[in-house]
Structure 1
Amino acid sequence: MTEAIVPSSGVLLGRARVPGFDHPRVITVRDGIVLDITAKGAATSRDICERADAAAYVKAVKGNAIGSLADILANSEAAKSDASRPSLLSPIDLQAIKASGVTFVVSLLERVIEEQARGDKSRADALRQDILTLVGTNLSDLVPGSPAAMKVKESLIARGVWSQYLEVGIGPDAEIFTKSQPMSSVGWGADVGLHPVSSWNNPEPEVAVVVTSAGQIVGATLGNDVNLRDVEGRSALLLGKAKDNNASASLGPFIRLFDGDFTIETIKNAELALRVEGEDGFVLDGHSNMSQISRTPESLVAATIGRHHQYPDGLVLYLGTMFAPVKDRDGVGKGFTHKIDDVVSISTPSLGTLRNRVRLSTECPPWTYGASHLLRDLAKADLL
C-alpha cells in the first residue's frame, strides 16, 4: 500500500500534526518510518526548501521516529482520523500557492467550451464538436507566442472563435493566478471542498513544483487544483470564486526534493493517472503526460517570479493539467461533475499518490491556523 502512495526512494519532505505539539512538525521518511526533523532554523517546510543543500540536509539530518508510514497514512484519512495520533498535513507552509492555467491543448479547448457554454454543462457536448471543427489545426504543435501561433490567432479571430483562453494558451503570456493563501492547502487524506453554488465541477490533477525565493525549482509534489467549471464559465473574472475556496487546494503526500536521481527532467516526462470513485458506483479514469505541456515548467516559473514579482517565502506552482473530464455520469450528454464523497486519486510513480474525498467547502474543516499562529507557536517553542 505505502509504495503506491509514497515513492520507495527519494528524499521526501512533509509536515505532520503530532500530538503534544502546538505547531505542525517537519518530517521525512526513511525505511518506512516517519521521522520528525523539526529543528531551530529548520522548523518549516519553507526554511528547508530555502537551503542551498535542501536534499542533502533532509537525507542526513537526525530525527525522532513518530510512527510507521503505513499507520500515519491510515490515520490521515479525514473520515478515520484520530487526533491522539500523528497525521499528515500539506507538505508546504509559508510558501505562496500559485497556479498556471491552459498549459495543455486539451484543457485549452475545454476552457473555450466553458466560456462559450456560459457555465451551462448541457451545452458542452455540442459546443465541443463545433469548436474542434472550427479550430481546424493541431494546437499542440504550436509554440505559444511564436509567429506560427500568431498566425493561428489571426485566423481564429477572422473566423469569430477567438477566446481569452486561446490568448493564454497560444499567446505570448502564460496564465498565472493565486490558487490559495499560504498555510491554507490541505494534504493527503483530507477532504477537498466545492463551493455549494457549483453544479459543474471537476478535479484537476497536476504536478506542482516547489520554488525558492530566488526562483530555483528544488522539488515537486502532486496537486489537485479543484475547479468550478460553471462559475469560471460564466465569467473569467470569477476565477477567484471558481478556484479559491476552503479546502480547494490539495497538495502531497510529500515534496520530493531534487537530487541526482530525481530532476526537472523526471517531471517533464511524468505520466499522471487520475481516478474518481463515486459512492454511486461511477468510476472515471484518466491519464495525462507532462511531455505534452505547451510551456516548460521553467518558463512558467519565470512568468511567476523574477524582477517583476518577488516571493520572499518561495512558492509552489501548479503546472496545469491536460485532463478534461467529459465522461457522462448522469445521462448521455450530461458530462462529468463531482458528487459528494467522491474519492479522487492522483498518482505518478516518482511522486506517489494524492488521495482526497470531495465535500462541500462549507462542510470541510474551516481553515483556522494561519501564518501568524505558526510563527507565535514556533517562537514559544524557541524554534525561530
Structure 2
Amino acid sequence: MLPQDHSRAHLAGRVQRAHGPAIVTLREGRVTDITSREVPTMRDLMERDDLADYLRRAPGEDIGAIEDLLAASTEDPGTPHLLAPADLQAIKASGVTFAESMVERVIEEQAAGDADRAQEIRARVQGVIGDSLSGIVPGSDKAMQVKAVLQAEGLWSQYLEVGIGPDAEVFTKCQPMAAVGWGASVGLHPISNWNNPEPEIVLAIDSRGRIRGATLGNDVNLRDVEGRSALLLGKAKDNNASAAIGPFIRVFDDHYTMDDMRAAELTLTVTGEDGFALEGRSSMSKISRDPESLVAQTIGRHHQYPDGFLLFLGTLFAPIQDRDAPGQGFTHKTGDRVVIAETRLGALRNTVRLSTDCPEWSFGTGALMRNLAGRGLL
C-alpha cells in the first residue's frame, strides 16, 4: 500500500487513536504522530510553507509499524487505524475530464439510467462520435466544431458541455470529515442497481490555491441515479461512506512533482465474493483538462477555501464488462474488494457495502474541535 519509493517520499496521513485523530508521517516504515499545537489538523499541516521539511524534522511519537495499522479494524474507534488524510478541507470532485469516460456519461444520459439499454445506445453514440473527442482541447475552436456536429445529430449532452466546453464540472463530493480511508467500507445507496468504482488522483490544495501533494481516491459512482437526471448528482455522489481517500498524501518535493503526477498510471482491481474479477486502468496522460486548470476553476477570486480542499481529478475508467447478463455491463455487489493503485502513491483498498450498512458518520467538525480542545491542542 506504500509508494515503491516510499523511503524518500514525504507522506502525510491521519490515524485514529484512542484519544482522537492524529496527524502522522511515515519514517522508515514506522508511523510517527506529529500532532501538536503547531499542527493540530491536516489543514494546518498543508498550510505550511516548509511542508516537506517539516515532515522530516517535526518531533513526534512513534506509534508502531505501518503493518500493524493495516491489520487493524477500521470500524472500532478505539483501535488505531488509518483515516482519510483530510479533516477540515472541503472535498471536491471534477467530472467528465477524460474523453473516453465522457462518452459513457452520454450513454448513461441517453439510457436514462437503464442498464439494459446501454449496449444499443453505446453502439449508436460511438458510431457518431468515434474518435472525434480524442485529444480535443476543451473550449477550443475544434471543440465547438465537434459540438455543432453532435447537436445536428441530436447527441449533444450536458456531459459533453462540461467535457469539451470552456467550463469544467466541479462539485462537492462529500462534507469535510466525511471521507473514509484505507481499509474502510465504501457505501452504495441502496436505491442503485447500476454503479461502479472510479479510480482517481486526488490533489491536496491549501487556502492560497497551492497544490501541495497528491493521493488516491474512489469517487463511488451511481450510474443509474445520475443517468436519470444530472440534477440527481448530489444524491448519486454524496452518501454515507461514498468517498474513499488515501492511504497518504504524498507531498510534492524534488523527488515527486506535478509532472510525475501527470504521468501517473492508475490500476483498478475489483474482486467479488462471487468469483468475478475486473481490472482497469486510468492514465493521467489522457486527461482532457490539465489539473492546474481544474484547480484554477475551483479556487480564485470567485471562490475561496479558507481551510483548503481536496480535489478528485476524474477518471478514464468506465467499466462495460458484463457481470451478470449480456449487455448489462458491470455493477458492484456487496463484498467486492476494490484496490486502486499507483506506483508512486501506493494503493487504496476498500470493501463495498450498502451505505446503510456502513458505520454511520458521527465525528464531524464540531466533534473534532471539541476533541482537540480537550487535548489542549487548540
Question: Which bin holds the TM-score, normalised by the shorter protein?
Answer: over 0.9
Aligned match for 2:28, one of 19, 28, 31: 31
Mapping for residues 58-73 of structure 1, pairs under 5 Å: 58-73=55-70
What does residue 304 of structure 1 align with? 298
What does residue 11 of structure 1 align with? 10
Mapping for residues 295-334 of structure 1, pairs under 5 Å: 295-334=289-328
Amino acid paired to 2:16:
R
Amino acid paired to 2:118:
A
- 1:11–1:256 contact (8 Å) kept in structure 2: yes
- 1:200–1:336 contact (8 Å) kept in structure 2: yes
* 1:236–1:185 CA distance, 2 compared to 1 (3 A): same
Mapping for residues 328-367 of structure 1, pairs under 5 Å: 328-367=322-361
- 1:5–1:353 contact (8 Å) kept in structure 2: no
What does residue 207 of structure 1 align with? 201
- 2:16–2:80 contact (8 Å) kept in structure 1: yes
> Unaligned stretches of 5+ in structure 2?
none
> How many residue pairs were aligned?
378
- 1:275–1:284 contact (8 Å) kept in structure 2: yes
Question: How big is the shift at 1:331?
Answer: 2.2
Amino acid paired to 2:14:
R
* 1:305–1:194 CA distance, 2 compared to 1 (3 A): same
Deviation sequence 1:213-237 (CA, Å, 0-9, x none): 1111000110000010000000000
Aligned match for 1:271, one of 262, 265, 270: 265
Let me know the Cα RMSD of the aligned residues.
1.3
* 1:322–1:303 CA distance, 2 compared to 1 (3 A): same
> Unaligned stretches of 5+ in structure 1?
none
User: TM-score under structure 1 normalisation?
Assistant: 0.96
Aligned match for 2:222, one of 211, 217, 228: 228
Question: How big is the shift at 1:252?
Answer: 0.2
Amino acid paired to 2:52:
A
- 1:208–1:319 contact (8 Å) kept in structure 2: yes
Question: How big is the shift at 1:83?
Answer: 5.0
Amino acid paired to 2:134:
S
What does residue 48 of structure 1 align with? 45
Question: How big is the shift at 1:321?
Answer: 0.1
Amino acid paired to 2:99:
V
Deviation sequence 1:13-36 (CA, Å, 0-9, x none): 0001112x1x20111111111111
What does residue 285 of structure 1 align with? 279
| CA–CA distance in structure 1, aligned partners of residues 2 and 150 of structure 2 | 47
Question: How big is the shift at 1:288?
Answer: 1.2
| SS of the residue 1:339 aligns to | coil
What does residue 242 of structure 1 align with? 236
* 1:136–1:87 CA distance, 2 compared to 1 (3 A): closer
| SS of the residue 2:303 aligns to | coil
What does residue 157 of structure 2 align with? 163
Deviation sequence 1:75-128 (CA, Å, 0-9, x none): 14x4xx665541111110000000000000111000000000000001111111
* 1:280–1:5 CA distance, 2 compared to 1 (3 A): farther
| CA–CA distance in structure 2, aligned partners of residues 374 and 174 of structure 1 | 33
Comparing 238-247 with 324-333, greater Cα deviation is found at 324-333
User: TM-score under structure 2 normalisation?
Assistant: 0.98
- 1:340–1:360 contact (8 Å) kept in structure 2: yes
Over 6 Å off, 4+ runs: none
- 1:6–1:352 contact (8 Å) kept in structure 2: no
- 2:2–2:345 contact (8 Å) kept in structure 1: no
Deviation sequence 1:345-377 (CA, Å, 0-9, x none): 000011100000000000100000011111111
